[in-house]
Structure 1
Amino acid sequence: MNEALRRAMAQAHVTDRQLAERCGVDIKTVGRWITETGRVPRARHRWITCEVLGEGESVLWPAAAKKAVKIGPDREVVSVYPYRSGCPASLWRSLITNAERELTFAGYTNYFFWLEQSRFGTALRRKAAQGCRVRFLIGDPDSELTRSREKEEGVALNLSTRIRVTLSELDKIRSQSGIEARFSGGHAYLSIFRFDHDMIATPLLTHRVGHDAPTLHLRRYQDDGMFDRFASHVEELWSNGTPVWGDASDG
């Protein structure tokens, strides 16, 4: 039995039928993936399954992953998505849930988390209470940069409104030690979300909103690789940011 696949499905609350529908296969096929030793799905079915379950191919099918192992700088690229909206909600949830040391949300508004992740504030409060550092880098809703980007986007729910939603939600949990927030304009066209050694990076395209941005799922495997370079960028922004709540301490 593929115990890793069975366990991942149980943790993600995904049934055989649901996974079969997402992969476009018969439910009996999924059953064979689980129960038959050595059974390895086709590559595209493995990729869809990994996205649905928020788990890596090396965990679910280590033999297949070993054959396709990357040895160059691109080994830190776990997955790519033409649009951030194509990045499964289950992957975000898994990354947030599994992080133990660091959660950094360096999106200009970070609005979509409150919209798409159930009980997001509660999850952040719990993580911080467990010793995980939780940080938000947010655009200043009253800045000229924000007004300029609002003109570019030209959408009804403008940037400043989305930022203020995030600020309002953060204000509800700011009393929890370990949750910090700073204003920064340096990431206006690049959003970085870090979950320990995993990261989602979304370079924003002109005249496009965040959910239309091409998206990379990265995992740290080397010094001074793609992960470290993006992480260094965020740390510089953080050090130069302005505390949202007027507390200059670094937590």
Structure 2
Amino acid sequence: MADADVRPHQLADRVGVSGKTVTRWLADPALVPHARNRADVARVLGVEEHMIWPEAVTSRVKVGQDKELVHSYPYRSACPSTMWAKLVAETTTDMLLSGYTNYFFWTMIPDFAGIIRKKTESGCRVRFLVGDPDGEATRRREAIENVALTVSTRIRMTLEQLDRLGPLHGLEVRVSSPEDATNHVGLSVFRFDSDALVTPHLARVIGHDSPMFHLRRQSREGMFDRFADHAEELWGRGTDVRATNAQA
């Protein structure tokens, strides 16, 4: 819009929608307008539709094994926070967050703790799998990242926030086993029912600078199932943190 020197109210007039509609488009990148409106916007701005709404275009043409790939991001931080919030909000059955630290959920999604509480109260299973803050893999990763907010600190922040929630039926927390630590730190899988956000961690960059893929399950043993099975395997061998704390 800036390149075309078109203001929101002007775009609304030329496309034939209300100013509030354009405001919603700008505020929520995950919101995909009707096909006719997308075509009109692209015409007014003088660009191809896929430059503005790549997800809408790619979802129409995927027919092979990549049809489960909803979107790819060169950086995890490039995925809008509204998308994370939308996936969290729409999960009704099973949420498995198997990032190595998971701490960013509390800083990115307003009242994330309250959302988790409501999810469990409605019958949703919510699971957190984090790395061992005292483990060797954590120490190695800290040396690689070399940032002030260390990996072990971020894990402890997550565990502290979860501990504040108290005992909730449906909330489960585990630490990955020492044997799985390397696999865990190298690949984060965040599952929201039939959607998943997957981040393979590059050698020397922090999590939010690594690429990420948005997958949506379409068939058995597709990309979604393969990554989901990976996370489930790590989960199955993890240590139940809440049970350990209760015994202590």
Give the TM-score normalised by structure 1. 0.78
- SS in structure 2 at match of 1:121: helix
| Paired positions, count | 213
Given that 1:137 and 1:238 are in contact with CA atoms closer than 8 Å, whether structure 2 keeps it comes out as yes
Q: Which runs of 5+ in 1 are unaligned?
A: 1-19, 48-55, 58-63
Alpha-carbon shift at residue 174 of structure 1 (Å): 3.6
- Partner residue in 1 for 2:37: 39
Task: Map residues 88-107 of structure 1 onto 2, 5 A cutoff.
Answer: 88-107=80-99
Q: 1:119 aligns with which of 89, 111, 136?
A: 111
Matches within 5 A, 1:54-133: 57=56, 68-133=60-125
Equivalent residue in structure 2 for 1:181, among 161, 173, 177:
173
Give the 3-state SS of the residue equivalent to 2:213 in structure 1.
strand
Q: Find the aligned partners of 2:133 and 2:169 in 1 and give their Cα distance.
A: 25
The 1:172/1:43 distance shift into structure 2, 3 A limit, reads: same
Local SS of the residue matching 1:38 = helix
Structure 2 residue matching 1:188: 3-state secondary structure:
helix
Q: Distance in 2 between matches of 1:228 and 1:37?
A: 30
Which residue matches 1:26?
7
Q: Which SS does the other structure have where 2:86 is aligned?
A: helix
Q: 1:100–1:196: 8 Å Cα contact kept in structure 2?
A: yes
Larger radius of gyration, structure 1 or 2?
2
Summarize deviations over 1:13-39 as a string: whole Å, max 9, x none: xxxxxxx67x98532324626479933
- Ranges of 4+ aligned residues in structure 1 off by more than 6 Å: none
Paired residue type of 1:155: V
Q: Deviations over 1:31-84 (max 9, x none)?
A: 62647993333222223xxxxxxxx63xxxxxx677x33110111111111000
Partner of 2:201: 204
Structure 1's 30 and 201: CA in aligned 2 closer, same or farther, altered over 3 A?
Answer: farther
Secondary structure, aligned partner of 2:218: coil
1: CA distance, partners of 2:92 / 2:5: 35
Residue among 206, 215, 219 paired with 2:216: 219
Q: Alpha-carbon deviation of 1:232?
A: 0.5
Q: Which AA in structure 2 matches 1:245?
A: R
AA partner of residue 7 (structure 2): D
Distance of 2:155 and 2:210 partners within structure 1: 18
Deviations 1:172-196 (A, max 9, x none): 1141110001001241110000011
Change (3 A) 1:146 1:74: same
Unaligned runs of 5+ in 2: 19-33, 40-48
Separation in 1, partners of 2:170, 2:210: 30
Does the aligned pair in 2 maintain the 1:199–1:218 contact within 8 Å?
yes
Structure 1 residues 165 and 44 mapped into 2: Cα distance closer, same or farther (>3 Å)?
same
Distance 1:38 1:145, change over 3 A: closer
SS of corresponding position for 2:63: coil
More divergent stretch after superposition (169-178 vs 79-88): 169-178
Moved more, 168-177 or 37-46: 37-46
What fraction of aligned residue pairs are identical, expressed as a percent? 44
- In structure 2, the partner of 1:236 is 233
Tell me if structure 2 keeps the 8 A contact 1:183–1:241.
Answer: yes
* Structure 2 residue identity aligned to 1:148: R
Residues 88-133 of structure 1, C-alpha deviations (whole Å, 9 max, x = no match): 0000000000111011100000011111111111101101110111
AA in 2 matched with 1:38: R
Structure 1 vs Structure 2 CA RMSD: 2.3
Relative distance call for 1:97 and 1:37 in structure 2 (3 A) is closer
Q: Is the 8 A contact 1:33 1:40 kept in 2?
A: no
